Amino acid sequence: MRKLLEVLIMITGGALFGFGLSFSGMVSPEVVLKFLNLQDFGLMLVMGGAVMVTVIFYQLAPRLLKHPLLAKQFETRITLVDKKLLVGSAIFGIGWGICGVCPGPAIAGLGIGNFDLLWALLGMFVGAYLQGYLSNESAKD
């Protein structure tokens, strides 16, 4: 029963996320590219609102809830800002600028029938595979 509840919560969260991306226009590469070319700032409001909700939730949830909905305790992950993170972020940003979508909106865009986004997703999967492969190779050295 617990597993079913977890799946339902994840599906609901994913559906809400996808609906929000679709409703805001983030699933349309043309809208995103207009934003990146500083021609339309509507997405800045969407992203700003999302950041505010996230910051508030991340600050309040551990104080108001005994534990997260799907875990035993809240955890803090410390990420080291190093060369790999900076290079990966730059590659991600360049890819986003070229195709006009990042992974979440690309998947949500498939849900509204924008199948051209399959090319962007293919590129993301190839990039993720190469990153994993190259990380394993460098770990062997």
- Give the pLDDT confidence of 105-131 residue by residue, as tens digits: 888 888 888 888 888 888 888 888 888
**pLDDT range class, residue 52, cuts 50, 70, 90:** very high
**pLDDT range class, residue 57, cuts 50, 70, 90:** confident
> What mean pLDDT is predicted for residues 1-20?
86
- For residue 115, the model assigns a pLDDT of 85
Q: Which of 125-129, 130-134, 135-139 has the lowest mean pLDDT?
A: 135-139
125-128: Cβ within 8 A, 24+ apart:
127/91, 127/95
Number of domains in the chain: 1
**For residue 90, what are the domain limits?**
2-140
The answer for 101, left when phi > 0, alpha when psi is -120 to 50, beta otherwise, is beta
47 near 32, Cβ under 8 Å? no
Residue ranges with strand state E in 18-94: none
Which residues are within 8 A (CB) of 73 and not within 5 positions of it... i.e. 6 or more apart?
A: 67
**pLDDT range class, residue 141, cuts 50, 70, 90:** low
3-state secondary structure 85-140: HHHHHHHHHHHHHHHCCCHHHHHHHHHCCCCCHHHHHHHHHHHHHHHHHHHHHHHH
- pTM higher than 0.75: no
- Whether the predicted pLDDT of 78 surpasses 90: no
- For residue 139, the model assigns a pLDDT of 74
